[in-house]
Amino acid sequence: MRDLYGTLMNEGATKGILVTTSDYGPDAYEFANGKPITLLNGANLLHLLEKHGTKAHINLVEARIAGLNRSTATGFLNSPF
């Protein structure tokens, strides 16, 4: 998130959006507060996808397994499209 904020400032962007398939901790929300950063968590992402006609779910178990293989934990978004 700090990298995103640095890029926003460096490039003169007016807003940044950070998306995760999981959720953010309190420190992330505290850091983003008052900055031009929108945090979009997994529940928000699924809501937006459904609102625009795509039914999906997030498989966190599969994400944890993949994260162990890549040394980073990310979620997987499963959709028929």
CA distances from 21 to 36, 51, 65 (A): 21, 17, 15
Where do the structural domains in the chain lie, given as residue ranges?
2-78
Q: Which residues fall within 8 angstroms of residue 17, CB to CB, at 6 or more apart? A: 37, 38, 40
Q: Is the pLDDT of residue 66 over 80?
A: no
| pTM for the predicted model, two decimal places | 0.69
Taking only Cα atoms into account, the Rg of the chain, rounded to an integer number of angstroms, comes to 14
Q: Strands 76-78 and 57-59: what pairing?
A: antiparallel
pLDDT digits (tens, 9 = 90+) for 5-60: 999 999 999 999 999 888 899 999 999 999 999 999 989 999 999 999 999 888 87
Alpha carbons 20 and 14: distance in angstroms, whole number:
20
Q: What pLDDT is attached to residue 18?
A: 94
